[in-house]
């Protein structure tokens, strides 16, 4: 009777240990973050899941390295149909797009599997045109100073917002102001066509310039062959040099812009 107890004990131990790890459920490690589920294993005979919050337009990048056995992957939100489901996945990489916001459960299942699986969420890159983004800054500065610039030569703090009067043409119709912002310093030129001297039509030019307070660097308008030109100081490495541009203007709508295709000389 004692011999049977010994034999039974040995058989139970062997079954629990799984000779040669063939019956083990998991040997490896997992990494779980808000955006990532990564699992590396020398043996996987079970399933592991991890929840990841997603917004519409997000995507999952999936990397699978299969070194043996069978690896399955499911990505699913609640009771909805899986956005991805695959069995016996070989070594591969791919992306899974997310159309609806929600909590997505990533489940990795193995059967005598050896390998590595990484599922990582990434948000789509939002490309914002610099001009569109900086428009809000220019609007803020104009409103902060109530469209009333200070004169060139005024001592200011270049790390704070400021609106500088740069030039006025000989007819009195065209005026130009410089934007100084906390975000980008001297960046942004306002072209104002007053038409009859009482109107105000502001046009934004997204250009760098330099404020020195020095009268010799003060921007100026000049007329040449019925064309309007603006000269203003810019940085050139360690130097400050004048830059001259043609101003396209004279429209009934008050539209003005720097003509980048014209020769400023």
Give pTM, 2 decimals: 0.51
Query: Rounded to an integer, what is the distance from CA 245 to the centroid of its chain?
Result: 32
Q: Which two tokens stand for residue 154?
A: 């005024």
243 burial via Cβ count (<10 Å: 0-12, 13-18, 19+): middle
As a whole number of angstroms, the distance between CA 120 and CA 3 comes to 54
Output the CA–CA distances (angstroms, integers) from residue 28 to 34, 38, 111, 120, 158, in the order listed: 21, 11, 14, 19, 57
Spatial contact of 121 and 60, defined as CB atoms under 8 Å apart: yes
Place of tokens 């070594």: 91
**Correct CATH for 21-122 of 2.60.120.380, 3.40.190.100, 2.30.30.60, 3.40.50.10710:** 2.60.120.380
As a whole number of angstroms, the distance between CA 136 and CA 149 comes to 18
Confidence check: pLDDT of 23 > 70: no
Domain ranges of the chain: 21-122, 130-259
Place of tokens 């203003």: 232
pLDDT digits (tens, 9 = 90+) for 131-152: 557 898 999 999 999 999 999 9
pLDDT digits (tens, 9 = 90+) for 189-223: 999 999 988 888 999 999 999 999 999 999 999 99
């Amino acid at each position: 009777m004692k011999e049977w107890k010994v034999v039974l004990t040995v058989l139970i131990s062997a079954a629990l240990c799984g000779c040669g790890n063939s019956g083990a459920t998991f040997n490896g490690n997992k990494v779980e973050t808000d955006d990532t589920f990564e699992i590396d294993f020398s043996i996987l005979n079970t399933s592991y899941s991890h929840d990841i919050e997603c917004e519409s337009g997000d995507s999952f990048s999936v990397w699978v390295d299969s070194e043996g056995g069978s690896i399955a992957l499911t990505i699913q939100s609640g009771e909805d149909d899986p956005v991805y489901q695959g069995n016996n996945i070989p070594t591969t990489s791919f992306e899974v797009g997310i159309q609806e916001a929600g909590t997505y459960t990533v489940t990795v299942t193995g059967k005598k599997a050896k390998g590595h699986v990484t599922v990582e969420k990434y948000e789509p890159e939002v490309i914002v045109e610099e001009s569109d983004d900086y428009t809000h800054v220019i609007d803020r500065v104009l409103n902060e100073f109530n469209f009333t610039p200070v004169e060139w030569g005024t001592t200011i703090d270049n790390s704070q917002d400021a609106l500088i009067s740069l030039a006025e043409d000989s007819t009195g119709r065209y005026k130009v102001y410089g934007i100084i912002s906390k975000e980008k310093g001297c960046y942004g030129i306002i072209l104002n066509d007053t038409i009859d001297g009482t109107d105000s039509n502001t046009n934004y030019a997204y250009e760098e310039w330099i404020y020195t307070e020095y009268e010799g660097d003060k921007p100026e308008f000049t007329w040449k062959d019925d064309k309007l030109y603006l000269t203003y100081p810019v940085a050139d490495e360690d130097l400050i040099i004048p830059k001259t541009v043609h101003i396209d203007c004279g429209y009934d709508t008050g539209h003005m812009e720097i003509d980048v295709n014209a020769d400023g000389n």
